[in-house]
């Protein structure tokens, strides 16, 4: 398991090192191999993450149950909890996708007409409402569990 954590840490350290090198010596580093390095970092990190997930599940399944654990989570309850979390996650992603263009357009409008600030806040609030609806749905479904 430790080698998988090292496998995941290596791309992060390499990315940080490349970023520091480019920060302090921007013209001395050849950028031709930068695309391959980023791809290699993503592949190594993905492999490490998949390995940690797979081996982590095996270690949890092989571990002895904690003494006095009164609540057992069945497969159905686990899937229900995942289904409850999906609306919040997907709604947050949708709100982020909506807020990007709205936020940039709002900044452009405010730069030209500062008196439009209130209206732009309303539009951003409407887009943020998507995430709140997802959170409310998850809370309501959690109450039914």
Asked if residue 68 belongs to a domain, the reply is no
Q: Are 17 and 51 found together in one domain?
A: yes
| CB-based contact 37:74 (threshold 8 Å) | no
What mean pLDDT comes out for the span 118-122?
Answer: 89
Instruction: Report the percent of the chain where pLDDT is more than 90.
Output: 9
Q: Are 10 and 56 found together in one domain?
A: yes
Q: Are 115 and 79 found together in one domain?
A: yes
Q: Which structural domain, as residue segments, surrounds residue 92?
A: 75-144
- Range in 11-20, 30-39, 84-93, 98-107 with the lowest mean pLDDT: 30-39
In sequence order, what are the residues at sequence separation of 6 or more whose Cβ sits closer than 8 angstroms to the Cβ of residue 37?
14, 18
Give the pLDDT confidence of 57-114 residue by residue, as tens digits: 766 666 666 555 556 778 888 888 888 888 889 999 999 999 989 999 999 999 999 8
Helices (DSSP H) in 25-74: which residue ranges?
Answer: 34-62
Exposure of 6 by Cβ count < 10 A (0-12 exposed, 13-18 middle, 19+ buried)? exposed
Q: Are 138 and 80 found together in one domain?
A: yes
| CB-based contact 37:18 (threshold 8 Å) | yes
What mean pLDDT comes out for the span 113-129?
Answer: 89
Buried b (16+ CB within 10 A) or exposed e, 123-140: bbeebeebbeebeeebee
pTM of the model: 0.48
Given a cut of 60, is residue 29 above it in pLDDT?
no
Q: Are 85 and 32 found together in one domain?
A: no
Given a cut of 80, is residue 24 above it in pLDDT?
no
Given a cut of 80, is residue 127 above it in pLDDT?
yes
């Amino acid at each position: 398991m430790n080698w998988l954590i090292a496998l995941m840490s290596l791309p992060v350290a390499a990315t940080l090192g490349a970023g520091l090198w480019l920060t302090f010596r921007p013209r001395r580093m050849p950028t031709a191999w930068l695309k391959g390095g980023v791809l290699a970092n993503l592949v190594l990190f993905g492999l490490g993450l998949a390995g940690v997930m797979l081996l982590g599940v095996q270690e949890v399944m092989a571990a002895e149950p904690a003494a006095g654990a009164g609540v057992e989570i069945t497969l159905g309850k686990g899937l229900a909890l995942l289904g409850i979390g999906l609306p919040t996650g997907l709604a947050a992603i949708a709100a982020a996708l909506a807020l990007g263009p709205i936020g940039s357009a709002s900044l452009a409008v405010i730069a030209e007409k500062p008196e439009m600030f209130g209206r732009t806040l309303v539009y951003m609030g409407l887009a943020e409402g998507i995430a709140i609806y997802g959170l409310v749905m998850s809370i309501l479904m959690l109450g039914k569990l």
